[in-house]
Amino acid sequence: MCSEAVAASPAILELLTGSEAHPRLHQDISDVGHALRPTEEPPKGAEVMTRRHELDWLRVFLFALLVPHHVAVGFVDWGVDIYKFVNDRLAGDGLTLFIYWSHSWRLPSLFMIAGLGTWFLTARGIGIHVMGPRFLSLLAPLIFATAFINVFGGYAIAKMTGTTTGLISFWWDWLTELEPRQVQHLWFLINLTLYTLFLWPIFALRDQIARAVPKPPLLLAALVIASAASVVLLKPYEAALTGDNYQFVLYLIFFLGGYLIGADHVQVLDWAKRQTWWLLASAIILFIIKATLLTLALTDDLDTGQALAEGGWVTQGLSPQNATVFSIVEAATAWFWCVAALGLASRFLNRPGRLLPAFNRAVFPLYVLHFPLTLIGLALAAQFSAPWWIEFFVLLIFVYIGSWILWRIFDHIGPAAFLVGGKPVKPTYDK
């Protein structure tokens, strides 16, 4: 149902072969890494931190990247394996490469940002008065959106595949015959809830972690090694699609890595800023290596190449060449893109903006709302015969604007905003 794992496509074959910031307490961080939102003066004895606007902006851009990624899946032939239908006009290999590139680091970066935000959240403590609201703000949108918002995306799929007739009867079945697929893109919230629960005891060691975290280069190396080990050891045995199997452990490491980055965020962001171009060049080279290795595997045997991309080749009795190297490069590619993004944000985005407070409040609700609109819009676009790139950009605009309008409706209702991940209005940034 969700496009979080990219099905390997033969299309890859042809393509690759032919402010002074005001010091305040960072509190009430959103539960998906809501970046550094000051609400009041810190109480006496509380930890005081300096606002990092680049983390605000990076979080906004990373969640905004969800929309073109999910829209793009509806314009490639293998998207039918994920959405059960695709647009009537399909794009070429370039869009497949974009999906593969964004998939290489987009979700890891979101878990990293969430972990980083959790570091600031735990500055307030780790008791139930802090962690309880966090769990509630994750689970409430998960339950509400699954029951009352995702159903419209599910109905769009059912209509396009000819498996339903009426919305009311479909909705009744949706509520009474629960299936994992109904969660759709919101599996992200399930993983975040579990990661927070699993690591809760570690949060009690916050002060010790702050003193023990290694220098940025060593921290990056350790995180790459840990991530590579998880992929090498687990990916051969089970495929992963929505943060399950080997991805569950891999994303847990990115969440924990974000927490460790938060423990020394001043030094890490400064180092990433100074090393931005080296990190970015390394990330590009690693992605080229990753794509090339996958291309070679697909050229040798399509099923084996697809298993290499998705996982589970051992249980299928397959033996991809260079599988261990590919797994190591997969982990390294994700981390280098994540840290390069931190460096780019620190270099170019470390400044407040008039729109930033509104974007920060809207980004989590837009995440909750965007995917059903993507499926609805794709079903509508498939009824027309315009060039694919026109339909693609029209659908992008439709999803962005539609999600924003829905968010503003929920926001104006008041308490209902909480059901889609909304937060009360906070004081504006210092100019």
Residues 73/99, Cβ–Cβ less than 8 Å? yes
Q: Do the Cβ atoms of 137 and 418 come closer than 8 Å?
A: yes
pLDDT for residue 165: 75
**Structure confidence at residue 175 (pLDDT):** 93
Least confident of 61-65, 78-82, 163-167, 224-228: 163-167
Amino acid 427: pLDDT: 53
Residue, of 52 and 323, whose pLDDT is higher = 323
CA angle 68, 97, 93 (to 5 degrees): 105
Chain centroid offset of residue 126 CA: 25
Q: How far apart are the first and last CA of the chain?
A: 43
What average pLDDT does the segment 43-66 reach? 77
Q: Of the ranges 15-19, 160-164, 200-204, 408-412, which one carries the lowest mean pLDDT score?
A: 15-19
Q: What's residue 27's pLDDT?
A: 36
Give me the pLDDT at residue 155, please: 95
pLDDT band at 84 (very low <50, low <70, confident <90, very high): very high
What CA–CA distance (Å, rounded) separates 67 from 374?
8
Find the mean pLDDT for residues 159-169: 89
Q: Which residue has the higher pLDDT, 288 or 34?
A: 288
- Least confident range from 32-41, 67-76, 200-209, 338-347: namely 32-41
**Vertex 319 angle, CA 318 and 322, to 5°:** 145
Q: Is the pLDDT of residue 338 over 90?
A: yes
Return the SS3 of 110: helix
pLDDT digit string, tens, across residues 27-47: 333 444 443 333 333 443 345
- Alpha carbons 189 and 410: distance in angstroms, whole number: 20
Among candidate residues 9, 261, 301, the one with its CA nearest the CA of residue 112: 261
Q: How far is residue 267's CA from residue 276's CA, in Å, rounded to a whole number?
A: 14
More confident residue, 19 or 409: 409
pLDDT tier at 77, thresholds 50, 70, 90: very high
Q: How far apart are CA 101 and CA 254, in angstroms?
A: 18
Give mean pLDDT, residues 158-177.
Answer: 91
The arithmetic mean of pLDDT across residues 249-271, rounded, is: 97
Which of 337, 322, 343, 238 lies closest to 283, judged by CA? 337
For the residues 130-158, what does the mean pLDDT come to?
95
Whether the per-residue pLDDT at 1 is higher than 50: the answer is no
Q: Are 22 and 430 in contact (CB under 8 A)?
A: yes
Give yes or no for residue 2 having a pLDDT over 70: no
**406-430 confidence digits (pLDDT tens):** 999 999 988 889 999 988 776 544 4
